[in-house]
Amino acid sequence: MSHSTKSETLSDKWDLDISPQRGWFDLQLGDLWRYRDLVKLFVWRDFVAGYKQTILGPFWYVIQPILSTIVFTIVFGNVAKLSTDGTPPFLFYLAGNTIWGYFAGCFLATSNTFVNNAAIFGKVYFPRLSVPVSVVISNIISFAIRMVVFLVFWVYFLIIGVKLQPNIWILMLPVLLLIMAGLGLGFGIIVSSLTTKYRDLQQLVGFGVQLLMYLSPVIYPVSSVAGIWRVLIYVNPMTPIIEVFRLAFLGTSALNPIWLLYSGGFAVVVMFIGLLLFNHTEASFMDTV
Amino acid sequence: MSETVISVEHLSKRYQLGVIGTGTFKDDAKVWFAKLRGKPNPLAKIGEEDYGNRDGDILWALRDVDFTVPKGEALGIIGRNGAGKSTLLKILARVTTPTLGHVHVRGRIASLLEVGTGFHPELTGRENIFLNGAIMGMTRAEVTRKLDEIIDFSGVERFIDTPVKRYSSGMYVRLAFAVAAYLEPEILIVDEVLAVGDAEFQKKCLGKMGDVAHEGRTVLFVSHNMNAIEQLCSRCILLKAGQIEEISDNVRGVINNYYSNSFEVNSQGLWTNQENQYVDPNFYPLSFSLVNENNEVINSSVRNDSLISVQITAKIELVDPSLTIGYAIYTEDGELLYWSYQTDADENQWTKIRPGIWRFQSNLPKRMLNEGEYRLELIASLHFRKWLLEPLHSVPTINLSIRGGLSDSALWIIKRPGLLAPVITWETEEILDNEK
C-alpha cells in the first residue's frame, strides 16, 4: 500500500468535520439521539429545580388551572353568559385550560431557547435541540398532573349525574399530545431562532399566545361562532385538538374530528420549518447573540 | 509517526465589528426605510462614519491557520490577548463555526472552556455531577461508574448532597473540575480554567492534565501561565494577529519569541484611555503609569532600589463604597507576584471618595523585585460583586524593567535565582563562652 492511499483511507475515518457551512437539511438528529441521557437529565432538572424552595412545590401545577378555570367560569360563564354547549361551565373551561396549557407551555418555554441558554451554548457543544425537546417532554409531566385534576372533577360530575358522554375518542389523547408537542415545539423554535436577531419577538410571544387562546375554542364552543370568525377559528390548528378533547370526555363538539388531520399536517410543516431554521441558527448564533 | 487526530486546514474566522443588525425589528425597519428614501442612517452616531450595517468593519480573528496534532501530543497555544486563541478553541469546541477552512477530528473531543458549565444552583453536588457530565457528553452509565472517583477527587464528600448554591466558590470549582477530570475523552481542550482556584488546587489540576497527556491522550492547552505551558506541553503554537507566528517542539524558544514580541510592542510605563475602551461610571480610568520621584513616566530600565510609583488616575461618576482599585504584577513568565489594592488598610483609614477625578498612588517596595521584566495590570472591582477590570481579561497593562540596584553588597551584584530579590536584614553576633 502506497503512502498516499494510506492517508486517503485515514482521512475517510474522521469522526468529526468542522466546516463553515452546514447544509440546510443536515439536521444531525443522530447526535440528539446520542445525547438522550442529557435530554432525560434536562427534563428531570426542569421539574426538580423549578419547585425547589417553593412552599407548595408541584401543587402549583394543580392550583394554576383551577384558579384560572374559576376566573373563566365567573367572567365568561356567569357574567358574559357564553354558551358551553350544555355542559357544566366549570368542566367546560377546565377541559379547555388543561389541553391549552400544554401547547402554551411548550410554545412559551421553547421560544427563548437561544437567548436564555446563550451562556452555556457559548461554552460547550451539545445538540442545541436537546433543550427544546426536553422542555416539550417535561411539559408532559405537568400536563399529566393537570390531567389528573381534570379527571377528578370529571369523575365527580359523572357521579353527581351530569349527562356527559365519554367515548372512544379518549384513546386519541396521545395523538392530541403528539400534535400539540409538534406545534408547540415548531412554533417555539421558529421564534427562538428569530429572537437571536430581533429581541422584540420575545415580548410579542407572551401576549401572542394569550391572543391565540381567544382565537381557540378554549372559552367558547365552535358552535357559538359564526361568519368570518368561524373561518379564523377553523384555520387555527389548535381548534380541532381542543374540540376533539371535549368530544372525547364531554361528548359535545360541533366539529368533524377529521379536522385533526389538518392539525397534524400543520404540525409536521411547522416542525419541519422550525427544525431547518433552528439548525441554521445554531451554527452561527454565537456570533450574533 | 503516530496517527493524526486533529487536522486544521486553512482555518479562518471573520468577525463583523460593531453591531450586527440593530437588535430590534423596529430599528432595522427605520434604517431600511431611511435608505429607501435616500436619507442617511438615522441611527448612526454623529461624527461616526456611516458604514451601514452590512459593510461594517471586518476583523479576521483567524487567518489561514494550518496545523496537525498527532495522537498523544500536549500542544500549548499562546499569544497576546486578541491573537485568536479563544476563537481557535471555540471553533474546535464547536461553539462557533469557521468562516473558511476545515477541522477534521478523530476520536471523542471534550472542551473545557469553563468549569461547571450548566451547574444548577438548586441541585445538589451529586445531581450536578450527572447533569454536568451529560452536558460534556458522558452517558449516565459512564458517570455512575466514575461517581465515587469524581467525588473523591473533588474533596467535597461531606457536602455532596447539599445544593451547590451553598458551596464556597472554591468547593464549586473543585467539584466542577473533578467532573471534567474524569471525562476521559481522547482529545481534551483546556482554556485558562486553571487561573481559578487556590495554588494547591491548580497544582492538582496541572497534575491531572499531565496524567491525561501521559496516558496517550491528546491535550490542547491555552494559557498565559508560561510555566504551566513549559511543564505540560511538548509542542507550542504562538499566534499573532490570527496567524501562526511560530510552531515548534522547542517550547522554551516559542515562549521567548512571545516575550520578545510582546515587550517590543508595549514597553512603556504609561497607559492612557485613548480609545475610551473602559467607560464604567463607577471607575473610568484615565491613566495608569509608573513614575519616578520627579513624577516622570518611567520608560526605561530602572534600579530596584529607586523610587517607583504606580499611579492611577480615574474619573468616578458613581460612588460605590465597595470600589477597590489596584494592580497585579506578573513576572515575564506570567507568574503572578501579588495583587495590591488601595483598600489594603484598616477601614477607618480609607479615603472617602466623592464624584470627581482622583489619583491613586502607591510605591513599589524597594529592593524586592529581582532583575527582569514585569507586567502590571490595572484591576478594579466592586468587592465580591463585580469585576470592573478583571486580571488577565484584556485590562490596561504597563511594563517595567528592573536592572541593577540589587544590594549594597560587593558580593551580590548580579541577578540571583528566585522570583524575588529582597534584601533582608541579618543579625550576626558572637556567642561568648560564658553564655554556653
Residue A207: name the closest of A118, A96, A115, A104 by CA. A104
Residues from chain B that touch A118, judged by Cβ atoms under 8 A, are none
- Predicted confidence (pLDDT) per residue in B256-299, tens digit: 788 666 544 445 788 888 777 788 889 999 999 999 889 888 88
For residue A163, pLDDT beyond 90: no
List C-alpha distances in Å: B414 to A86, B306, B331, B408, B417.
Answer: 102, 17, 18, 12, 10
- Domain ranges in chain B are 4-12+63-262, 19-56, 270-403
Cα of B191 to nearest chain A Cα, Å: 10
Residues from chain A that touch B186, judged by Cβ atoms under 8 A, are none
- Predicted confidence (pLDDT) per residue in B29-70, tens digit: 666 666 666 555 555 444 333 333 333 567 888 999 999 999
**Contact across the interface for A20 and B130, Cβ inside 8 Å:** no
Average pLDDT for A227-253: 88
pLDDT on residue A7? 43
Among B14, B65, B104, the strongest candidate for a mutation testing the A interface, having the largest count of A CBs within 10 A, is: B104
Say if CB B163 and CB B124 are below 8 A apart: yes
Residue B124, chain A, CB below 8 Å: the answer is no
B123's CB contacts (< 8 A; 6+ apart) are A45, A48, A49, A52, B131, B163, B164
pLDDT on residue A241? 93
Residue B109, chain A, CB below 8 Å: the answer is yes
Residue B337, chain A, CB below 8 Å: the answer is no
**Contact across the interface for B96 and A287, Cβ inside 8 Å:** yes
Residue B291, chain A, CB below 8 Å: the answer is no
Cα–Cα distance, A170 to B279 (Å, whole number): 63
Out of A139-153, A200-214, B72-86, B179-193, the most confident range is A139-153
Cα of B376 to nearest chain A Cα, Å: 29
Cα–Cα distance, A253 to A244 (Å, whole number): 7
Cα of A284 to nearest chain B Cα, Å: 6
Say if CB B362 and CB B339 are below 8 A apart: no
Average pLDDT for A161-179: 89
pLDDT on residue B30? 67
| Number of helices (H), then strands (E), in chain B | 8, 18
pLDDT on residue B48? 39
- Predicted confidence (pLDDT) per residue in B164-214, tens digit: 989 887 788 888 888 887 877 888 888 865 555 566 676 777 777 778 777
Give the strand pairing for B270-272 and B218-222: unpaired
Q: What is the mean pLDDT of chain B?
A: 82
**Contact across the interface for A41 and B96, Cβ inside 8 Å:** no
**A-B C-beta contacts closer than 8 Å:** 121
Residue A201, chain B, CB below 8 Å: the answer is yes
- Predicted confidence (pLDDT) per residue in A242-273, tens digit: 999 998 998 877 788 888 999 999 999 999 99
Residue A52: name the closest of B49, B17, B120 by CA. B120
Which architecture does CATH list for B4-12+63-262?
3-Layer(aba) Sandwich (3.40)
Cα of B20 to nearest chain A Cα, Å: 7
pLDDT on residue B97? 87
Check: complex ipTM more than 0.85 = no
Say if CB A35 and CB B135 are below 8 A apart: no
Q: How confident is the model at residue A9 (pLDDT cuts 50, 70, 90)?
A: very low
pLDDT on residue A3? 40
- Percent pLDDT > 90 in chain B is 29
Residue A13, chain B, CB below 8 Å: the answer is yes
Of B23, B105, B120, the CB nearest to A14: B105
- Predicted confidence (pLDDT) per residue in B301-358, tens digit: 788 888 999 999 999 999 998 999 999 999 887 889 999 999 999 988 888 899 999 9
For residue B8, pLDDT beyond 90: yes
Cα–Cα distance, A114 to A112 (Å, whole number): 6
Of A17, A120, A125, the CB nearest to B104: A17
List C-alpha distances in Å: A80 to A16, A83, A185, A210.
Answer: 62, 9, 34, 19
pLDDT on residue B435? 56
Residue type, A253: S
Bridge partners of B238? B78, B246
Would the CA dihedral through B21, B27, B29, B35 be positive or negative? negative
Residue B140, chain A, CB below 8 Å: the answer is yes
Model's pTM, two decimal places? 0.69
For residue A39, pLDDT beyond 60: yes
Of A13, A17, A124, the CB nearest to B135: A124
- Domain B270-403, CATH 2.70.50.60 — does that match? yes
Say if CB B214 and CB B222 are below 8 A apart: no
Average pLDDT for B413-418: 80
Residues from chain B that touch A26, judged by Cβ atoms under 8 A, are none
- Predicted confidence (pLDDT) per residue in A118-139, tens digit: 888 888 888 889 999 999 999 9
